Structure 1
């Protein structure tokens, strides 16, 4: 029997946090909101995250860890899971991309879902 297609959608929205940033010290803080939608027939648990953060300065940082925001949430079919987090860069622009590792307990199956690249950028200030 073939495995049903996984239908997990991950959407990310990023935004600049000027109140937490300090451009004179090369500190640019960005928030991002993640929405994970499970359109599959099985509950899934988010076990781990991987981020690749490319900064405008040329530096690339990789971040790996368990779950997200201190949790390893179970996401039932048809229900979204949303969370917010942030990234601190040394330049005004950057790109984040990565993947989440999920487990489908009913199937004993572990798999990765790719997170498409998204841009982190300060709005232009005209003086």
Structure 2
């Protein structure tokens, strides 16, 4: 699990390999990641957009950008937390992701980027 705080917004990520959806013989590895976004600031904020960089260990890099997270643009009051689970498929058994969320303070419309800490996705047998 990794955590990073940007402008009072805390992002924590935990990953899990999904062997039942993976097929190593076809170079298809599926991982899920659970993200917790906690508003530790004194302002109400809204998550507007996400921007991901996805790295396979073979050197390929993909970028994914879009509105919200899993179809939502959550509003977080001070002290509130939003959690969601999403997934990523890789062509290798080791990879990593990092990114940013575009957030907006409701009180004055100030937009700012919150860093999503870099996290690794590793098939468990690679850790032996």
TM over 0.5: yes
**Secondary structure of the residue that 2:124 maps to in structure 1?**
coil
**Secondary structure of the residue that 1:77 maps to in structure 2?**
coil
Within the alignment, does 1:20 sit opposite 2:29 as a pair?
no
Determine the C-alpha separation between the residues in 2 that align with 1:77 and 1:107: 15
Q: How far apart are 1:44 and its partner, in Å?
A: 0.6
Within the alignment, does 1:106 sit opposite 2:107 as a pair?
yes
1:25-70 alpha-carbon deviations (Å, 9 max, x no partner): 1110000000001011111100000110110111000100100001
Q: How far apart are 1:6 and its partner, in Å?
A: 2.6
Q: Which residue of 1 aligns with 2:82?
A: 81
Q: Which residue of 1 aligns with 2:3?
A: none
Within the alignment, does 1:71 sit opposite 2:69 as a pair?
no
Q: TM-score, normalised by structure 2?
A: 0.92
Within the alignment, does 1:96 sit opposite 2:104 as a pair?
no
Determine the C-alpha separation between the residues in 2 that align with 1:58 and 1:108: 38
Q: Which residue of 1 aligns with 2:9?
A: 8
Q: Which residue of 2 aligns with 1:30?
A: 31
Structure 2 portions without partners, runs of 5+: 1-5
- Structure showing greater Rg: 1
**Secondary structure of the residue that 1:96 maps to in structure 2?**
strand
Q: Which runs of 4+ in 1 moved over 3 A?
A: none
Structure 1 portions without partners, runs of 5+: none
- Aligned pair count reads 122
Q: How far apart are 1:76 and its partner, in Å?
A: 1.0
